[in-house]
């Protein structure tokens, strides 16, 4: 049996960046027992404007940067740049999501979306692309809303830039992004990151510990026909 997990996140969300280690562990532990559908939510759809508005009474961009630096002090497995939202201020995460949707479509068309490659620590090329986008922003301090940065990452993964452009220009990628938004509204997804299981009956939002995620997945695998929410 395979259960479906829909994973909603914003590529500029620090909790999703740090939480990638949990998704990697989830895939490694359950392998062929789960299918992860990656969806994007535009928390930073108007990136700079969003940060300035939310943090206007707490130091604005500088205040948000200080917050991120403090949060990251608790993690040993990731690094973040001192330049976040100061020297590098992405206008929109939607630009990165749009590009990543094009990569996701190309991988699906090539029927390699479920292929985990050893060179990517068990991730598919699309999953590695998401990670490289986040790594470029959070660790390297690069503006991933810029097409030049996006193309560079796609090139690292041997995606044809012409094929990516064709999918972007055709409208296919934006249509897939729209589907993510419809799913977000249908499930009432509160933010990033959010895991949706059991057709929306179970939802794990925010900085949720791995053992909680693991317990929810195991409950579904052991009780696949139950209609009510699990006891986890």
The pLDDT of residue 228: 45
CB 11 within 8 A of CB 130: yes
Residue 69 lies in a domain: yes
Distances (CA, A) of 75 to 17, 22, 68: 11, 13, 11
Residue 174 lies in a domain: yes
Q: Which two tokens stand for residue 60?
A: 């604005």
The pLDDT of residue 225: 62
pLDDT at 120 > cutoff 90: no
Residue 11 lies in a domain: yes
pLDDT in tens, 38-48: 999 999 999 99
Residue 232 lies in a domain: no
Q: Which domain holds residue 12?
A: 3-222
pLDDT at 113 > cutoff 60: no
CB 144 within 8 A of CB 137: yes
Phi, psi of 88 (to 5 degrees): -125, 115
Percent of the chain with pLDDT over 70: 92
Residue 15 lies in a domain: yes
Rounded to 10 deg, the angle between the 161-170 and 147-156 helix axes is: 130
CATH code for position 124: 3.40.30.10
- Based on the structure, what is the number of domains in the chain? 1
Confidence bin at 121 (pLDDT 50/70/90): confident
Residue 116 lies in a domain: yes
Residue 117 lies in a domain: yes
The secondary structure of 96-136 as a DSSP string is: HHHHHHHHHHHHHHTT-TTPPPGGGTT--HHHHHHHHHHHH
Q: Which residue from 200, 210, 202, 194 is spatially nearest to 231, judged by alpha carbons?
A: 202
Sheet hosting strand 34-40, strand order edge to edge:
34-40, 3-9, 194-197, 202-205
Residue 9 lies in a domain: yes
pLDDT in tens, 147-176: 999 999 999 999 999 999 999 999 999 999
């Amino acid at each position: 049996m395979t259960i479906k997990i829909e994973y909603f996140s914003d590529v500029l969300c620090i909790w999703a960046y740090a939480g990638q280690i949990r998704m990697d562990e989830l895939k490694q532990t359950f392998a062929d027992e789960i299918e992860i559908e990656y969806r994007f939510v535009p928390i930073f759809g108007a990136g700079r404007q969003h940060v300035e508005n939310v943090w206007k009474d707490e130091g604005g961009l500088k205040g948000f940067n200080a917050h991120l630096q403090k949060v990251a002090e608790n993690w040993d497995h990731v690094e973040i740049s001192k330049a976040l939202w100061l020297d590098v201020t992405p206008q929109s995460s939607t630009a990165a999501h749009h590009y990543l949707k094009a990569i996701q479509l190309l991988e699906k068309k090539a029927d390699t979306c479920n292929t985990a490659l050893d060179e990517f620590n068990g991730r598919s090329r699309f999953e590695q692309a998401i990670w490289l986008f986040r790594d470029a922003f959070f660790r390297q301090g690069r503006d991933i809303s810029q097409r030049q940065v996006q193309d560079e990452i796609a090139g690292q993964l041997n995606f044809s830039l012409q094929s990516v452009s064709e999918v972007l220009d055709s409208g296919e990628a934006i249509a897939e992004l729209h589907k993510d938004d419809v799913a977000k509204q249908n499930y009432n997804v509160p933010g990033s990151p959010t895991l949706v299981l059991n057709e929306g009956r179970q939802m794990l939002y925010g900085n949720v510990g791995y053992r909680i995620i693991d317990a929810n997945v195991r409950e579904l695998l052991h009780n696949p026909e139950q209609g009510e929410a699990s006891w986890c």
